[in-house]
Structure 1
């Protein structure tokens, strides 16, 4: 081999090797800086645990789907059911008929017209503390659907184009795990009305989300639902509201609903003899379900507070024994 040819060959190999090392070096830096290496690794570890529970060893996920997998909650892990929600029986019945039955029995909701089937978007709106998030979790449990509890921080990324890839991964993962519910709490913060002054990254992320959402609507047999909750529905973009044909107003409970909520909360509580539930229902007018729960919690802990004040634990002593006596 001529010296000149050898030199050209060596230079070529050197250049190729340098480019390969630079490529993998940049990939390593990007993967460890996106969202923070520890946080990203934690997401993937949670995702692996969920995949193991679902017995998805043969399911292939890309890097972005693995990240979103960390947001997945299995139906059996949701601690809320419809039986724990009081005063919303009419909404529960509607959700059963329009969402749960189509997700679990798709063969009954197919027709050439395409008019049957579950809506691809549902909105729960109303004042804070009235049970929107609780209803969403119960819907996931009762339907047996995989619950993707999507957080805006998971989708936001400092690298251009990464947020769009994460949004795409949300829908591709939901399709692989269907039946699935993509839940966005405080959806107005993510999909608020678009403006000309909006940042390009946020605008393109919303456009990507809506495009993929439309793909769910056109895909026959898809069992994926986007579920949103908000107390500011007027801030949501009109194009998003159009994609959520089923909208439920979760209003503050009236007297009969407050009675039902209190009965559920106090069913395992030892009440004083002659406890006047009717008077309590009347006195709590205007309170939300969350307010009622906090009121009951404060009432339940009051005897313990009184015991601790009258029998302060000795310094350095065992604190558990006094609390145990107070409970009994």
Structure 2
């Protein structure tokens, strides 16, 4: 029940490609490598090389849209979405964590097509070392074994998608299981313009507001930073109104 509570139907996901600004090149790659093989399986039945990947890694600085891309991918592909909270896999009783990891893949197999999304995947599947607790090491091993099992069934449409801003901390065995890797960088000038236009769409703007100038002065800011900047600016209007009352 704990795992099922994190299940989201694609129809209930509010994020789509139109919600994401400045990442058209990544979106196009995901459409080709992930979504098309899922939606048009009839085109790829004669080759195992063109099947959708069993693992997808989104890596880059915080606030650049990795989680939004994962949700939009599930919606556009018509996949059920398990937003896996790693904390539910930990249990005080010996052996229970492995059972919970197994339950994740059992549920995903039954409701496929399905995307299992792990945000900050480096906190869960980081490099293994001799200092790892025995229970943690066993849970990681169980998770990877079950993940490998997805590859034995060519008709299985379960994808593990992870997001991280520390890809170098991931275990090499995990990186091998995520052949589709996409770098989501900080937006450049053109991308910042697109993001600002998306954020300010439908908002009442003064004629003096020049989004091109704002985009130029916002170098080094992520999409999340740009949204927060616009929110703070809008609050000044509220403060001015309160002072005039």
Aligned length: 245
Alpha-carbon distance between aligned partners in 1 of 2:203 and 2:238, rounded to the nearest angstrom: 15
Report the equivalent of 1:140. Answer: 74
Greater relative contact order: 1 or 2 (C-alpha under 8 angstroms, separation 6 or more)?
2
The correspondence for 2:131, drawn from 197, 203, 206, is 197
* Corresponding residue SS for 1:67: coil
Given the two structures, how large is their TM-score scaled by the length of structure 1? 0.73
- Answering whether residue 224 of structure 2 is matched by residue 257 of structure 1, we say no
The correspondence for 1:101, drawn from 9, 32, 36, is 36
Unaligned runs of 5+ in 1: 1-65, 312-328
Alpha-carbon distance between aligned partners in 1 of 2:2 and 2:234, rounded to the nearest angstrom: 41
The correspondence for 1:126, drawn from 55, 60, 66, is 60
* Corresponding residue SS for 1:86: coil
Report the equivalent of 1:208. Answer: 142
The correspondence for 1:85, drawn from 15, 20, 25, is 20
Report the equivalent of 1:21. Answer: none
Alpha-carbon distance between aligned partners in 2 of 1:296 and 1:114, rounded to the nearest angstrom: 47
Bigger helix share:
1
**Conserved 8 A contact 1:68-1:170:** yes
Report the equivalent of 1:290. Answer: 224
- CA deviation profile, 1:183-240 (whole Å, cap 9, x unmatched): 0000000000000111011000000010010011121111110000000001100000
Report the equivalent of 2:115. Answer: 181
Greater radius of gyration (CA): 1
1:143 is displaced (CA, Å) by 1.2
1:308 is displaced (CA, Å) by 2.2
Unaligned runs of 5+ in 2: none
1:118 is displaced (CA, Å) by 0.3
Report the equivalent of 2:180. Answer: 246
Alpha-carbon distance between aligned partners in 1 of 2:217 and 2:61, rounded to the nearest angstrom: 20
Does 66-75 or 228-237 show the bigger shift? 66-75
Report the equivalent of 2:9. Answer: 74
RMSD: 1.1
- CA deviation profile, 1:142-164 (whole Å, cap 9, x unmatched): 11110000011111100111111
